[in-house]
């Protein structure tokens, strides 16, 4: 699988197109069953045996999770299980990994982990809880999928087990946060975790409970009944509305035309020669609905949800299909007043279930920027509307350039930025802090002082004085300074930039998310390229062939 595929991978799907998942709703409990079609791989050259998965399987899972949140507000708990007999999930397909490029493997692991994060966030912030019913062998990424659930119930039948066999079998590590969730989330003792992670056959029965690997084991005949009982118990803790009507996530319209990608409110131009993707988010063209009922009536046409879906899809598209576009330029255009009006609506109706979901979706989408291995510069110019929610794009960028004053022959007013209430905690980064709080770690009181500026249009001088932008060139210097910044960035090592950016973006407290993504950036960009894993006699290459792995025994 090459870095640049002829046919772009499409992250858009819908239930009628699912090949690998079956969703059933029974009142406040949903069942999401994994039933992977062996010949349904995203690319030729491998079979998805034993409920193993590739990116296509996880694209469907992500879509199902989104639909459960938006289309089924009455669902308070989800039972995740397998639709196959005697196998839960064998994890990521090894043949797929073996034939994939390094970049594809890393993006695959990142997306699958973001999907599991969304499951955990559904429980903590949205009242939609996940219970895993392990009804067969559960290995590698399959167990990582179970680890993303709040409760794990496993069949006690002498055969069913959980395992993370990547180290002994493949010379790599669990790819979607398994090690971190094992010790940080489930609090498995380090010495027991060490043994578990070097054991090919895994752990079953009472020992799995004693070691905290699962929450309970029950006879296979009682597994479904017990899983539903645990889901019912968690559902009772939920604040999701009963009897509410969901909104349909209708197909997302997108146009791919050469180097241009266009949606309703988001557009992108890819300059492959320079390695740059220029992204523009447009403000709404009309005021927000007057009340929550009208927000519900607008559904996916409600501007914050519409542009969140579009930006989310664009990020995934660029990460997977345009790997050589290493610098993303972020722009906005339109009315700052209208953006602020929509922010007020999101704040005023924060207790409404749909508005809550939209805000959480915006937060998840902005987090995708935070963890993307791309440089990001925000350009703030006349006509921009970096306000509130859209100002978060500039705060997510590695640098921001704001034009001081106007351009010759441009009758538009000088560029301004504007803070709103939503900049102060509505969209936390993976470190749990607002981007403003991360920005001013050395001056926490500064964030409270900035609240007094909410709703005010700040020109380049005021924005720089407040510490909200990086550089403020005037019209004479703007073109040269921006051009040089882009050229200099393009001249640097992409590998070094990925490590540098990941290190700098997550200052402050460490969380489960920052640990997982930080460690993924570190080990995947090393272990996944080592001969012990991917060399001619590496474990990923010879697995299942009967040949013996030849390991370089030197520690590095």
- Residue-wise pLDDT for 326-363, tens only, equals 999 999 999 999 999 999 999 999 999 999 999 999 99
SS3 at position 225? helix
For 497-544, the pLDDT digits (tens) are 988 998 899 889 999 999 888 877 677 667 878 888 888 888 888 888
Sign of the CA dihedral 7, 9, 15, 21? positive
Q: What is the pLDDT along the chain (556 residues), one digit of tens a residue?
A: 334 446 899 999 999 999 999 999 999 999 999 999 999 999 999 999 999 999 999 999 999 999 999 999 999 999 999 999 899 999 999 999 888 888 898 899 999 999 999 999 999 999 999 999 999 999 999 999 999 999 999 999 989 999 999 999 888 888 888 999 999 999 999 999 999 999 999 999 999 999 999 999 999 999 999 999 999 999 999 999 999 999 999 999 999 999 999 999 999 999 999 999 999 999 999 999 999 999 999 999 999 999 999 999 999 999 999 999 999 999 999 999 999 999 999 999 999 999 999 999 999 999 999 999 999 999 999 999 999 999 999 999 999 999 999 998 888 999 999 999 999 999 999 999 999 999 999 999 999 999 999 999 999 999 999 999 999 999 999 999 999 999 999 999 998 898 899 889 988 999 999 988 887 767 766 787 888 888 888 888 888 888 888 888 888 7
Q: What is the predicted pLDDT for the residue at 3?
A: 43
Q: What is the predicted pLDDT for the residue at 499?
A: 85
Q: Quote the CA–CA distance of 193 and 211 in Å, as a whole number.
A: 8
Strand partners, 471: 401
The answer to whether the predicted template modeling score (pTM) of the entire model surpasses 0.85 is yes
Give pairs for 267-274: CB < 8 Å, separation 24+: 268/314, 268/318, 270/318, 270/322, 270/325, 271/325, 272/322, 272/324, 272/325, 274/486, 274/490
Burial class (CB in 10 A: 0-12, 13-18, 19+), 221: exposed
Q: Quote the CA–CA distance of 518 and 508 in Å, as a whole number.
A: 13
Q: Quote the CA–CA distance of 207 and 117 in Å, as a whole number.
A: 27
Query: b vs e for 85-109, b when ≥16 Cβ sit within 10 Å of the residue's Cβ?
Result: eebbbbbbbbbbbbbbeebbbbbbb
Q: What is the predicted pLDDT for the residue at 158?
A: 87
Element (H, E) at 24: strand 21-26
In this structure, the strands spanning 260-262 and 266-271 are: antiparallel
Strand partners, 329: 278, 377
Q: Quote the CA–CA distance of 71 and 75 in Å, as a whole number.
A: 9
Q: Quote the CA–CA distance of 431 and 511 in Å, as a whole number.
A: 6
Q: How open is the CA angle 467-469-473, to the nearest 5 degrees?
A: 120
- Of residues 401, 305, 318, 310, the one with CA closest to residue 356: 305
Q: Quote the CA–CA distance of 273 and 279 in Å, as a whole number.
A: 16
Element (H, E) at 479: helix 475-490
Q: At a CB cut-off of 8 Å and minimum separation 6, what does 251 contact? A: 12, 14
* Count of Cβ atoms closer than 10 Å to residue 350 Cβ: 13
- Of residues 355, 233, 363, 237, the one with CA closest to residue 292: 355
Structure tokens at 406: 């106007």
Domains assigned to the chain: 15-235 (3.90.226.10), 257-503 (3.90.226.10)
SS3 at position 468? coil
Q: What is the predicted pLDDT for the residue at 294?
A: 97
Which CA distances in Å does 217 have to 84, 133, 134, 203, 285? 19, 10, 9, 12, 55
């Amino acid at each position: 699988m090459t870095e640049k595929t002829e046919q772009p991978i499409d992250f858009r799907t819908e239930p009628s197109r699912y090949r690998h998942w079956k969703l059933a709703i029974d009142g406040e409990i949903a069942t999401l069953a994994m039933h992977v079609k062996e010949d349904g791989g995203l690319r030729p050259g491998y079979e998805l045996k034993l409920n193993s998965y590739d990116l296509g399987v996880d694209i469907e899972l992500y879509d199902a999770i989104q639909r459960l949140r938006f289309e089924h507000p009455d669902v308070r708990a989800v039972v995740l299980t397998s639709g196959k007999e005697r196998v839960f999930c064998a994890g990521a397909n090894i043949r797929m990994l073996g034939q994939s490029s390094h970049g594809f493997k890393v993006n695959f692991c990142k997306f699958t982990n973001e999907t599991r994060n969304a499951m955990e966030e559904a429980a903590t912030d949205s009242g939609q809880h996940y219970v895993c019913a392990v009804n067969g062998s559960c290995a590698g990424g399959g167990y990582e999928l179970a680890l993303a659930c709040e409760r794990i119930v496993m069949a006690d039948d002498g055969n069913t087990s959980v395992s993370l066999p990547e180290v002994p079998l493949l010379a790599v590590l669990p790819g979607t946060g398994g090690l971190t969730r094992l010790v940080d989330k489930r609090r498995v003792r380090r010495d027991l975790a060490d043994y578990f992670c070097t054991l090919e056959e895994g752990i079953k029965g009472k020992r799995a409970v004693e070691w905290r690997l699962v929450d309970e084991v029950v006879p296979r005949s009682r597994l479904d009944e017990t899983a539903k009982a645990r889901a019912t118990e968690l559902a009772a803790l939920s604040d999701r509305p009963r009897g509410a009507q969901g909104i349909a996530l209708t197909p997302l319209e997108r146009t791919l035309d050469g180097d241009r990608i266009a949606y309703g409110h988001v557009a992108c131009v890819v300059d492959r020669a320079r390695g740059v993707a220029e992204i523009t988010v447009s403000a709404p063209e009309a005021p927000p609905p007057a009340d929550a009922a009208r927000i519900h009536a607008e559904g996916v046409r409600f501007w914050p949800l519409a542009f969140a879906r579009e930006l989310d899809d664009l990020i995934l598209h660029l990460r997977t299909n345009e790997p050589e576009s290493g610098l993303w330029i972020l722009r906005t255009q339109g009315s700052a007043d209208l953006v602020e009006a929509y922010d007020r609506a999101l704040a005023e109706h924060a207790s409404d279930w749909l508005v809550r979901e939209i805000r959480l979706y915006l937060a998840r989408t902005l987090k995708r920027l935070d963890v993307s291995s791309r440089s990001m510069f925000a350009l703030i110019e006349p006509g921009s509307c970096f306000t509130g929610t859209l100002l978060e794009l500039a705060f997510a960028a590695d640098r921001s350039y704001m034009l001081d004053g106007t351009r010759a022959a441009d009758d538009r007013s000088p560029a301004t930025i504007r803070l709103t209430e939503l900049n102060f905690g509505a969209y936390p980064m993976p470190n749990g802090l607002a981007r403003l709080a991360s920005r001013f770690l050395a001056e926490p009181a500064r964030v409270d002082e900035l609240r007094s500026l909410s709703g005010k249009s700040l020109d380049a001088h005021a924005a720089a004085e407040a510490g909200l932008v990086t550089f403020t060139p005037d019209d004479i210097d703007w073109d040269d300074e921006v051009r040089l910044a882009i050229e200099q960035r393009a001249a640097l090592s992409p590998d070094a930039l990925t490590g540098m950016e990941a290190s700098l973006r997550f200052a402050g407290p460490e969380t489960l998310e920052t640990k997982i993504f930080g460690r993924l950036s570190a080990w995947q960009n090393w272990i996944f390229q080592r001969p012990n894993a991917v060399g001619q006699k590496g474990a990923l290459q010879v697995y299942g062939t009967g040949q013996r792995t030849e390991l370089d025994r030197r520690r590095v």
